[in-house]
Amino acid sequence: MLESILIVDDEEDILDIVSTLLEMNGFNSIEAKNADEMYKKIEQHNISLIILDIGLPESDGLTVLKKIRSELDIPVILLTGKGDVIDKVVGFELGADDYITKPFHSHELIARIKTVLRRTKNQQIGNEPSNSLNEIIYFNEWSLDPNSQRVFNPQKQEVVFTSHEFSILLALIISASRALTREQLLDSVGTSRGEYSPYDRSLDVMIAKIRKKLGDNPKKPRFIRTVRQAGYMFIAKVEREQKTSS
């Protein structure tokens, strides 16, 4: 069964181009010109991924993204003609899975779609069984399940992390007490790494979001320490417990 990709853009040319690219690459293409149409299509189809234009009429794409993230668990790639880094940073803060700027190369768009879909599937079903996926990780009364990609606070309440945030947090935990460079942390996000630069603020924004969700104070950190001219280090004590078979 073909995976359905929903394209949300008010430009006919973009809809036609992206739709054709998707169908040429084995996807089922579904189109919407505004937020209202998007929600109707989501109700009518099993959507695997949304390509969302930031510059939508009536309701801008970032507002739509925020609503999607509060209601749905569908990966989103932002599409925009703007090169402003602020749009990218805000998009990631709101939970976008990736970001691509118009004009884009067809191969790049398809590669990013496949990468996000692959990463989403891995989050849902896990990779091949391994020790790390069959254990629960504990730190300062928090718990993290690498397989289901869920994080729980000391009150046993789930705290939701975006896919990028979780990948960075897990990379830090796995390398606890060892500083990871900006490049290493960006590599943990996946093959969409090329969209980031180690010198822009995207990583800093994601680290800040992780800290906020963990209730961590960067001036007196309990979890993530900034290591000058090196990167970031996870400093909490980490313990692992094998899952019991049900």
C-alpha dihedral (81, 53, 62, 50), degrees to nearest 10: -140
Instruction: Say yes or no: 37 and 115 in one domain.
Output: yes
Confidence at residue 216, expressed as pLDDT on a 0 to 100 scale: 96
CATH number assigned to the domain comprising residue 182: 1.10.10.10
Instruction: Say yes or no: 29 and 108 in one domain.
Output: yes
Give the closest residue to 199 by CA, choosing from 184, 176, 183.
Answer: 183
Instruction: Say yes or no: 170 and 71 in one domain.
Output: no
Instruction: Say yes or no: 117 and 29 in one domain.
Output: yes
The answer to whether 105 and 213 have CB atoms below 8 angstroms apart is no
3-state helix, strand, coil in the chain (%, to 5): 40, 25, 35
In angstroms, what CA-CA distances link 226 with 82, 174, 182?
31, 17, 11
Which of 76, 98, 125 is the last residue in one of the domains? 125
pLDDT band at 195 (very low <50, low <70, confident <90, very high): low
Instruction: Say yes or no: 41 and 97 in one domain.
Output: yes
Confidence at residue 117, expressed as pLDDT on a 0 to 100 scale: 83
**Across 20-29, 39-48, 68-77, 232-241, least confident range:** 68-77
Instruction: Say yes or no: 19 and 111 in one domain.
Output: yes
Which of 81, 99, 125 is the last residue in one of the domains? 125
Instruction: Say yes or no: 107 and 144 in one domain.
Output: no
Position of tokens 């289901």? 148
* 37-89 pLDDT tens trace: 999 999 888 899 999 998 887 777 888 888 888 888 888 998 877 666 676 77
* 219-230 pLDDT tens trace: 999 999 998 877
Instruction: Say yes or no: 157 and 220 in one domain.
Output: yes
Phi, psi of 189 (to 5 degrees): -70, -30
* Count of beta carbons in the 10 Å neighbourhood of residue 125: 9
Q: Domain of 89?
A: 4-125
d(CA 186, CA 4): 28
Instruction: Say yes or no: 28 and 112 in one domain.
Output: yes
pLDDT greater than 90 at residue 20? yes
Instruction: Say yes or no: 101 and 137 in one domain.
Output: no
* 150-186 pLDDT tens trace: 999 999 999 999 888 998 999 899 889 888 888 778 7
Q: How many CA atoms lie within 13 A of 232 on its CB side?
A: 27
User: Average pLDDT of the chain?
Assistant: 83
User: For the chain, how many structural domains are there in total?
Assistant: 2
Which of 125, 160, 176 is the last residue in one of the domains? 125
* 104-120 pLDDT tens trace: 888 888 988 888 887 76
Task: Give the amino acid at 183.
Answer: E
pLDDT greater than 80 at residue 198? no
CATH number assigned to the domain comprising residue 87: 3.40.50.2300
Confidence at residue 163, expressed as pLDDT on a 0 to 100 scale: 84
Instruction: Say yes or no: 93 and 150 in one domain.
Output: no
Instruction: Say yes or no: 154 and 77 in one domain.
Output: no
Confidence at residue 128, expressed as pLDDT on a 0 to 100 scale: 40
Q: What percent of the chain has pLDDT above 70?
A: 85
